[in-house]
Amino acid sequence: MKKKKLRLKKRVKIVLTVLLLLLSVSFYQLIKNALEEKENPLVSDEVLKYENIMLKYARENQIEEYLALLQAMMMQESGGKGNDPMQSSECEFNTQFEKVPNAINEPEYSIEVGIKYFAKCLAKADVKDKNDKNHLYLALQAYNYGIGYIDYVNQNDKQYTYQNAIDFSQKCKEEYHIKVYGDTKYVYHVLRYYTDTSLVDDWLEKYC
């Protein structure tokens, strides 16, 4: 009789242990999913699937803290779709494909080139950290326009403004005899997808 009771207790203990383990795993998964959703809920699944690749090249270029911003940039550039998700074909660091729109046909290479170029924009714009708003706006607009925009700003207003983004675009259109040059609202368009909403609020307050 005692042996039966001991066996029953043992079985109950095993069942309870298994249930506890299952509950722990389920709870961990719920927490993990919640944290992942919280990380950057404003970008698409297509963008999020490149997270590990983007983190790899962000680390290589020592701009890991800008991962969420890079995701927002990809969201604006392509939504994570196509073979050139960072739209970096025309970038100076593209040495494998023609320097024309959408020439890159390898997503990882597009990410490698785009992140390397944004790192250069951050350095050229003298961005101290991700909270250095005005310099960050300058670096973002330079990703869209090219590094020449930073030189133009340094020679004129000394800082990013929406107006000099418009002026630079107009100047380039006249010089190159084209109808469209870049996206004058690129900073705003990127920041719509960025987790720190204070940046887009700040841009709207200043320029709209």
Residues 163, 193, single domain; the answer is yes
Distance CA 176, CA 192 (A): 30
DSSP class of residue 193 equals T
> At residue 186, does pLDDT exceed 80?
yes
Query: pLDDT tens digit string along 125-167?
Result: 999 999 999 999 999 999 999 999 999 999 999 999 999 999 9
Range of the domain at 163: 45-207
Residues 125 and 172 in one domain: yes
Stated length of the chain: 208
Q: What is the CATH number of the domain that holds 108?
A: 1.10.530.10
Residue 23: other Cβ atoms inside 10 A? 10
Fill in the amino acid letter for 140. L
pLDDT level of residue 198 (50, 70, 90 thresholds): very high
Q: How many domains does the chain have?
A: 2
pLDDT reported for residue 35: 42
pLDDT digits (tens, 9 = 90+) for 99-121: 999 999 999 999 999 999 999 99
Structure pTM?
Answer: 0.81
Query: How many other C-beta atoms can be found within 10 angstroms of the C-beta atom of residue 200?
Result: 18
